[in-house]
Chains A and B, each alone.
Chain A
Amino acid sequence: MAETLPGTGGRGHGLDLAMRGIVKRFPGVLANDHVDFDVRRGEIHTLLGENGAGKSTLMKILYGLYRPDAGEIRIDGEPVQIDSPRRAIELGIGMIHQHFMLVPTLTVAENVALGLASPKGPLLDLAPVARRIEELSEAYGLRVDPGAMVWQLSVGEQQRVEIIKALYRDAELLALDEPTAVLTPQEVEDLFVTLRAMAAEGHSLIFISHKLHEVLDISDRITVLRNGRLVGTVSSADATKAGLARMMVGREVVLEQVRAPVEVGPPRLEIFDVRARGDRGTEAVRGVSLQVRAGEILAIAGVSGNGQRELAEVVAGLREATGGRVLIDGSDVTGADPGQRRALGLAYIPEERMRDGAIGQFTVAENLMLHDFDRPPFARHGFLDFAEIERHCRRLVADFDVKTPSLDTTMKSLSGGNIQKAILARELSANPKVLVASQPTRGVDIGATEYIHRRLLDQRARGTATLLISEDLDEILALADRIAVMYEGEVMDVVDRADADVGRLGLLMAGVRDSGT
């Protein structure tokens, strides 16, 4: 075991990385096609590209998780073979993966200590680990309790654990794959403070994000990939949002949607004093009352873990309300199952799309039919009518611009953006009266985000009452008519879009009630 316990300190200051001519094929795709990529000491270098452009693949090659089919990696000028994460760690490379690599049933300290030698030989000794975690927390502003179980942590905290894991292993170069996708603005700010501190110490940093303002904010240089190929590397100082978007997508992208005024109708979704428990049994929603009217988008802002997800699930019928009532289009659905709610005109875009929204190994067609497979014309007398189903799905795929090789392609082999579009197609095809959209563009590239926003606004124009749950304030400000801020299971305040600004929302999200200045 090469790694040792804390206190050894960094072995130097950062790494110079050069990846040359990297090629990686997967069944069906050329994920990296002769990509060149450099990172210098003390630099924050962003990788940018649409979903499926090959960013994560390049990073996984760097970390020894994938073997490149061709190409070379040099560190400080020396060619290196990185054939395992162990080797990458030895070389001083750390990685924050797009999907967190944590063991939920273990404590923070156990997660950090995993794979390291212990001073007590074969026996676990977590006390020094906890101490060192606290030191690192202190030094980089990464607050986290070493004794907490990981499954109890918020997403932001989990991310801090990931960073601590890398720092603990003396990572000189740290790659962060979409670290901000799940963070609140405040958490993003905190993260950036940490990253800048690390860069200032000489660490080399690779950053991946779909949010252009973040990219422009944090990066020194930006490298753009498209369809696995290198488009170019630009200095952040010379870059603009529109220019980057064009490099990524290969065309002009409308970054701001026009929110036309819409006639607001009667209340479609009414929530009265709803209470619900979270997964851990604690009260997560504590007496929330909201009304969403036809033609209106009501956004719920808030730091994740403040009851938004539970509230959305209560409305969708996936979580039992322990108190209060939910009405859809005037009918009380508090005790109804998801199917009954759907029949009354509810649609739902779940936050965890691969868990709640789609069946990965089912085909695109089967996924598009997930709610309607058992009703005519798609099924008769218990038998599926494939001709009818295919006709319907073809239309949806065309209408919603889902890019898939065929209707028989498995859902999981689509890109994140296209999976989201397929779910959107299914949910919006019934022209719902009420739409609950949870984090509809999380992790989705700007092209697809643009498209999804347009569809949500279209739906608003058609009289749908939309409850939008998002941690992305830009998204909220771009779409919402009114904004409710949730904090610790309660609605702090509901503000009109016109009166909302990032500062005021941020304070509310932090639990500071409006003093009415």
Chain B
Amino acid sequence: MGTLFPVAAVLAALVVGAVMLLLLGASPGEGFAAMIDGAFGGPRELADTVNKAVPLLLVGVGITIAFRANVINIGGEGQIVLGALTATALALALPDWPAVVLLPLGLAAGLVGGAVWGAVPGALKAYFGVNEILSTIMLNIVAVQGMNYLLRGPMIDPAEIESGSRIPQTMRLPPATDLPVLVPDTRLNLGAVIAVVAAVVVYVFLWRTTYGYRIRAVGLNPFASRYAGIDVKRSTVVALTLSGALCGLAGAILVFGSESHRMVTDGSTTGFTGSAGFNGIVAALFGGLHPIGTIPASFLFGALLVGANRLQRVTQVPSALVIALNGLVVVFVVSSAIWKRRLEQRAQLEAVQTGDQAAQTSLPGDVAPAAADPPGRDSGTDDG
């Protein structure tokens, strides 16, 4: 029931989008048909949607860990870049290794790169009291310049120097690091499986392991956690590190699963990440800050982005419209959360009037499913 609200919010945003299309002289009907077709129209479209969703899911799941520790990680962009760089560097360094070793190793390198870029703001916050919003914004800037430096200098494809064209890109990575394509004739690759597995692992981690318990405890009440013998500072660092690691993994997958099998920069972060570091936050929220809920949320959000690109191509409106629409969807989705909360409160209220004690469950929004809660669902009122 509660998931209807984000969906309704997306639809509302699209209505505004329809008005904008009309103003631009395009037909909304044609536009939205193109959008649906572009996102779901066939195996190739579905594969693109899934591929677009993969970094959103990984970032979203990472963000969930940070959020649960009460840290807002808006450094996803930089962490993706770092993960991509370390994964790429490793692949370039070990060109002859077999796929069974090199691929996992490369992905692990991505994890590590992102982890480091998450650990820095984590440590700055825990040990120096530097607010993570400040540090992650600044570290995004550092990361993009680092990327430009490396891809223009030390990591550039030697052929680019030779030919003098100096396109800031690495050479083609060893084929061993190509993510295997799962469905022939599409671009659906192993990244999708990795992301879903990561989401499940994070779910288990957060709600079934002692370390996850620590992170959630610290996020909700650092004072009580400290008294409970939990190292609050370390938990903050760990949460941001893990969050960064997942973003880094997304970066590695972006490179290994890319069309060109190499890392390319246009000089901006977005040029590489496609704003996944931001959009992943929205996907996480859409998914109720729950790793499992983030899976369908990322898929829908990926569909929206892929579909909107097709919309642009079919209706020939400026692509800026797609960005504006993306923003509207984000605003509408976060704003819709209140109706969901209200609905759940009302359900509790009615349950009381009918004397149904069982419906008196945890407050909405917390969505902190205890042991018995099925994954991916808010402790709803309908299964009491």
Decide: A337 and B229 in contact? CB cutoff 8 A.
yes
Q: Is the interface of B mostly helix, strand, loop or mixed?
A: helix
Q: Which residues of B contact A65 (CB under 8 A)?
A: none
A362 CB within 8 Å of chain B: yes
Q: Which residues of A contact B224 (CB under 8 A)?
A: 355-359, 370
Place the interface of chain A in its size category.
35 or more
Decide: B220 and A365 in contact? CB cutoff 8 A.
no
What 1/0 mask marks residues of chain B from 360 to 374 whose CB sits below 8 Å from any chain A CB? 111100101011110
Q: Which residues of B contact A29 (CB under 8 A)?
A: 352
A330 CB within 8 Å of chain B: no
Q: How far is the CA of A339 from the CA of B229 in the complex (A)?
A: 4
Decide: A370 and B228 in contact? CB cutoff 8 A.
yes
What 1/0 mask marks residues of chain B from 335 to 373 whose CB sits below 8 Å from any chain A CB? 000000000010011011100011111110010101111
Contact residues of B between 191 and 245, Cβ < 8 Å to A: 208-211, 213-214, 216-217, 220-221, 223-229
Q: How far is the CA of A28 from the CA of B364 in the complex (A)?
A: 13
Decide: B362 and A370 in contact? CB cutoff 8 A.
no
Q: Which residues of A contact B370 (CB under 8 A)?
A: 363, 365-366, 407-408
Interface centre among A316, A338, A340 (most CB of B within 10 A): A338
A5 CB within 8 Å of chain B: no
Task: Specify the chain B residue showing the minimal Cβ separation from A357.
Answer: B224
Decide: A371 and B228 in contact? CB cutoff 8 A.
yes
A318 CB within 8 Å of chain B: yes
Task: Specify the chain B residue showing the minimal Cβ separation from A362.
Answer: B220
Q: Which of B223, B357, B372 contacts A408 (CB 8 A)?
A: B372
A152 CB within 8 Å of chain B: no
Place the interface of chain B in its size category.
35 or more
Q: How far is the CA of A360 from the CA of B365 in the complex (A)?
A: 13
Q: Which of B211, B228, B379 contacts A382 (CB 8 A)?
A: B211
Q: Which residues of B contact A405 (CB under 8 A)?
A: 357-358, 360
A348 CB within 8 Å of chain B: yes
Task: Specify the chain B residue showing the minimal Cβ separation from A353.
Answer: B224
Q: Which residues of B contact A340 (CB under 8 A)?
A: 229
Q: Which residues of A contact B349 (CB under 8 A)?
A: 25-28
Q: Is the interface of A mostly helix, strand, loop or mixed?
A: mixed
Decide: A363 and B368 in contact? CB cutoff 8 A.
yes
Q: How far is the CA of A365 from the CA of B361 in the complex (A)?
A: 13
Q: How far is the CA of A147 from the CA of B348 in the complex (A)?
A: 46
Decide: A361 and B368 in contact? CB cutoff 8 A.
yes
Decide: B371 and A365 in contact? CB cutoff 8 A.
yes
Nearest-Cβ distance from residue B370 to partner chain A, whole angstroms: 5
Decide: B229 and A413 in contact? CB cutoff 8 A.
no
Q: How far is the CA of A26 from the CA of B228 in the complex (A)?
A: 32
Q: Which residues of B contact A409 (CB under 8 A)?
A: 360-362
A90 CB within 8 Å of chain B: no
Instruction: Answer whether A410 and B345 are a contact pair too, CB < 8 Å, given A370-B224, A383-B209.
Output: no
Q: How far is the CA of A339 from the CA of B214 in the complex (A)?
A: 14
Q: How far is the CA of A357 from the CA of B221 in the complex (A)?
A: 10
Instruction: Answer whether A374 and B210 are a contact pair too, CB < 8 Å, given A27-B349, A366-B370, A386-B371.
Output: yes
Q: How far is the CA of A499 from the CA of B56 in the complex (A)?
A: 71
Decide: A408 and B361 in contact? CB cutoff 8 A.
yes
Nearest-Cβ distance from residue A186 to partner chain B, whole angstroms: 30
Instruction: Answer whether A27 and B345 are a contact pair too, CB < 8 Å, given A356-B224, A359-B224.
Output: yes
Q: Which residues of A contact B358 (CB under 8 A)?
A: 405
Query: Which residues of B are interface residues toward A (Cβ below 8 A)?
Result: 208-211, 213-214, 216-217, 220-221, 223-229, 345, 348-349, 351-353, 357-363, 366, 368, 370-373, 379
Given contacts A373-B210, A374-B210, 17 further A-B contacts (CB under 8 A): A28-B351, A29-B352, A316-B227, A318-B227, A348-B227, A357-B227, A359-B225, A360-B221, A362-B368, A365-B370, A365-B371, A366-B370, A371-B229, A374-B214, A383-B209, A386-B371, A410-B366
Query: Which residues of A are interface residues toward B (Cβ below 8 A)?
Result: 25-30, 316, 318, 337-340, 342, 348, 350, 352, 355-363, 365-366, 370-371, 373-374, 379, 382-384, 386, 389-390, 405, 407-410, 412-413
Query: Lowest 5 CB-CB distances: which A-B pairs, in order?
Result: A339-B229, A27-B348, A386-B371, A374-B210, A28-B360
A-B contact pairs, 14 of them (CB 8 A): A25-B352, A316-B227, A352-B223, A355-B224, A359-B221, A361-B220, A363-B362, A363-B368, A370-B217, A405-B358, A407-B370, A408-B361, A408-B372, A409-B360
